[in-house]
Chain A
Amino acid sequence: MRHLSSSVIEAAETIILGKRSQLRLALCCLLARGHLLIEDVPGVGKTLFSQVLARVLGLTFQRIQFTSDLMPADILGFSMPDGSGHGFRFHPGPVFSHVVLADEINRATPKAQSALLEAMEERQVTIEGESRQLPEPFFVIATQNPVTHVGTFSLPESQMDRFMMRIHMGYPDPVAERRLLLGGDRRTLMNSMVCPLEAGSLGAMMAAVDHMHVADPLMDYLQAILAHTRTPNRFVTGLSPRAGLALLAAAKAHAFLEGRRGVTPEDLQAVLIPVTGHRLAFQSDDALDPGRSLLTAVAVP
């Protein structure tokens, strides 16, 4: 089944140049049923990245541009009289889609943010007392400007925790950038792209990830990492059990992408920084990335 995942990544790479590791992490996140937070300056291709991801996986895609006047109904949908005078008809919002891009999520008010974040956690929305299931798979990619930018409501820690991973796009390297500048319009290219997956393949891949074998020594390593983050005087708060689950699921997905039959410490290390980076903060101002510090501090048993 590994060829499926590599064909997905290869297809995406024809459009998104030089972002192989980000693509792999995003795919990991999706296969592990997590949500993704992309943090970077505008114009580095965050929107295109998510669109392509939905496209290569053959999923429906909706984009919500978050602004300061965005209302929850703009995300979830609303009911209005159906014209016959007998009742109301529900108009589903953009959230009813496989891949939802929440663009610049930190520009909206906390109220609008929480509407989306609740949907992410529950995988269903409740409107006017009626619960409506969201499509399966449901995958939110939120983009966020670096919090120092003007006019932003930074996400509180409790909501950061709902994102399985946070990645940075980064500027393209010179070779990729030259190809990007000389090549045609990425959007037209994308529209001509064909999904390499058959129907049901994605579900099978996700099931394979769920059943990935986890050996005892790996659990020891994972718990050592969790214990390390909970040692006092180091981080503001330690990793939550939810973070532990996310770490394990992401590592399983990574092992799957690598074509392994068991999770290795390398898989855990590969997803460690994106999964823990946005959940940890040093007590003292330390220049070192907190996620990276885990790599150097915890021994592999």
Chain B
Amino acid sequence: MNIAPTIAPAFSCSRRVMAWAWVALVFSLAPHLLSMPPGLSVGCLMAGCYWLWRLSGGRTPWFPGLIVQLPLLGIALSIILAEHETLFEQEASIAFLVSLIFLKMLELRRDRDLYVIILLGYFLLGTLFFDGQSLFQTFYAMAVAVLLTLVLILHQRPGASLNVCWRQAGTLVLQALPLTVILFLLIPRLNGALWRLPQSTSLAVTGLSESMQPGSISGLVRSNKVAFRVEFLTSPPETARMYWRGPVLWRLEGETWHVRSGFRDVTGSGTSWPHRETKGPGWVQQVTLEPNSLKLMFALEFPELPPEGGVLNRDRQILSLKEIHSPRRYTVVSHPDPFNPEPLTDREAQWALALPDTGNPRARELAATWKNQMADPAAIIQAGLDFFADHPFVYTLSPPQLLHDRIDGFLFETRKGFCEHYAGAFAFLMRRAGVAARVITGFQGGMVNDLGNHVTVRNADAHAWVEVWLPERGWVRIDPTAVVAPARVAEGIGEALALDPDRPPSLNPGNGFLRRWLQIWDWVDYGWNDLIIGFDSQRQIAWWTALGWVQPEYGDLVIAVIVVALLFPWILSVVVGINFSSVRRDPALMTYLKFCRKLAKAGVIRDSREGALAFGERAGSQLPHHRREILLIARACARWRYEKSFSSREIRALKRRIRDFRPRHSQ
């Protein structure tokens, strides 16, 4: 039999494959396109158009070739370097990878090129998780993985219908899930991210910051991003009492409130709050904090002890030792009643009464009259609150813009403001009236999710209030916003702004059905964050210990991963093998294959397209010493497989013959 080797065609991508490859690439690149330098995005679009052009015409494809591609690579590199100044940085390297993919798209000549592009597409999917690991991102990545797999299947099975290929691609990705779960449970967690590329400095995370000016909180309210979620291990307080303490602002410079100096210094002496014995039950909270790129950690007022990895400063605010770039879980106990205070230090008293030298004369005048009329600080505070209650103040997200003396303008003219206006103006008045005051920023309220039994606090719940110093009681919380808009504290921001025409749609209270779905989604998202992202090395070890593997070390886990990697293909072959059992159990074939293996060791390898007789002839001519034996066995094998009557005695004889067959190289 003369079997000439076929020459595989160089490029066999059908139009269908190319079209789907295009779609798959668009989906895997889409999340990155926006964050890339615009020049690159345009280049990528052009490469995509080139691909479409090839799809539409494609009779004689035109390849740009190195003369075009090298300059393009140069341009891409210079754009990236101009934007990021280095390649060894997360976004810059992703942009570089993306531009390489598009350059590769310009030279789709052989099947191999398609494989490279698809492989890079899978790789790019991995980079999707640099930005975050939310449930949505995971589902998106899985969907795109199915798409990329589909392209490979379409290419391998040109005849199969699209439906069949979809199903196969989906099955393949689903089949990878068990392995993913096993590896997820096994791969050791690194507490510091060893592999992480340097993060871009420009990567700003929206959230509460360490200063406050008019507009900074109302701007934040438009964001529906989750700030943190809290699970109460004791019974939770009612929403109106949920004040989540954030940065404490002491210094007023112009219009902007700042934290006191030394605020960020978490290791310095004298910054920590002395621990005291407390009486009565507290609220035990388990907080899952979303990354905020700062050192801010939040808890209900007033935390008793700092959680692990944080300190409690003299402002009774929790600060993380490290900047928070990944979700973080901690447990805090808070007590509603402030502890017996230490007296104010001279410096603190000075800070808490300081005002800018000039500006807002009418407010100063008003506060000065209170100071002259009343000696009791409590009376002054009440006068301040009454001022807000007695005048037609409006709580609104979009107050009129004021240019000069904004506190005056707000208190006496527009009388429209958001919590930062009320808190800022109230603190200003108190300081001028001789009552030590400071502004507290943080969050108030939150969505109680009865599904997950947790409270979800979003950026929209950001709030600002005031603390005043009463010598006999210490720092006391005063919320002037509550006087103007009681609903803000009692029912939440959505209700408080119900009549505000500028209310962002994310704050719409919605009907019960929509609200229910939001709760379900929030619960699922929380569960994902808790179970998947929160699965750190401690929980990993605890999990395995609970299963009976006591305290596995890093090394043990690594060995387990290797064992799984080695065992999995075998398990898979056993599982899949069940489907092909009829082929596998054909004893005639097994015997013949054993014979073939013996010949292969002697250097004669069976061609898959050869029948037993033809192979016997060929092997016999290559191993002339064994020619007779080989022919006998080959013929018997063929008879066993293809003839009706092959007796068990003949089978035994054949098996014996093959067992005794010891071929040697003829040379």
Contact = CB atoms under 8 A, between A and B. Distances in A.
Contacts of B610: 300
A232 B641 contact: no
A266 B614 contact: yes
Interface centre among A260, A261, A265 (most CB of B within 10 A): A265
Interface in B325-364: none
A264 interface: yes
A299 B609 contact: yes
B159 interface: yes
B643 A262 contact: yes
Contacts of A295: 1, 3, 609
A2 to B, nearest CB: 15
B639 to A, nearest CB: 7
Interface string B1-19: 1011110000010100000
A288 B589 contact: no
A292 B639 CA distance: 26
B611 A261 contact: no
Interface string A219-251: 000000000001111000000000000000000
Interface stretch (A159-167, A177-185, A210-218): A210-218
A264 B158 contact: no
B572 interface: no
A159 to B, nearest CB: 28
B583 interface: yes
B644 interface: yes
Contacts of B583: 301
A264 B644 contact: no
A300 B606 CA distance: 11
A261 B14 CA distance: 45
A232 B159 contact: yes
A262 B644 contact: yes
B4 A264 contact: no
Given A266-B614, A300-B611, A261 B643 contact: yes
A150 interface: no
Contacts of B613: 264-266
Nearest to B9: A284
A215 B4 contact: no
B159 A261 contact: no
Interface centre among A263, A295, A299 (most CB of B within 10 A): A295
Interface string B586-600: 101100000000000
Nearest to A263: B642
B638 interface: yes
Contacts of B639: 260-262
Contact of B643 (A215, A233, A293): A215
B612 interface: yes
A175 interface: no
Contacts of A262: 639, 642-644
Given A296-B4, A296-B609, A269 B614 contact: yes
Contact of A292 (B4, B12, B642): B4
A231 B583 CA distance: 23
Interface in A264-286: 264-266, 269
Given A264-B611, A266-B614, A296 B642 contact: no
B608 interface: yes
B667 interface: no
A297 interface: yes
B168 to A, nearest CB: 17
A292 B642 CA distance: 23
B382 interface: no
Interface of A: 213, 215, 217-218, 230-233, 260-266, 269, 288, 292-293, 295-301
Interface of B: 1, 3-6, 12, 14, 158-159, 583, 586, 588-589, 608-614, 638-639, 641-645
A-B residue pairs, 10 tightest by C-beta: A265-B611, A262-B643, A299-B608, A262-B642, A213-B644, A266-B611, A261-B643, A215-B642, A266-B613, A232-B159
Given A215-B641, A265-B611, 20 more contacts: A213-B643, A215-B643, A215-B644, A217-B586, A217-B589, A217-B642, A231-B158, A260-B639, A260-B643, A262-B639, A262-B642, A264-B611, A264-B612, A264-B642, A266-B638, A269-B1, A269-B614, A292-B4, A295-B1, A300-B609
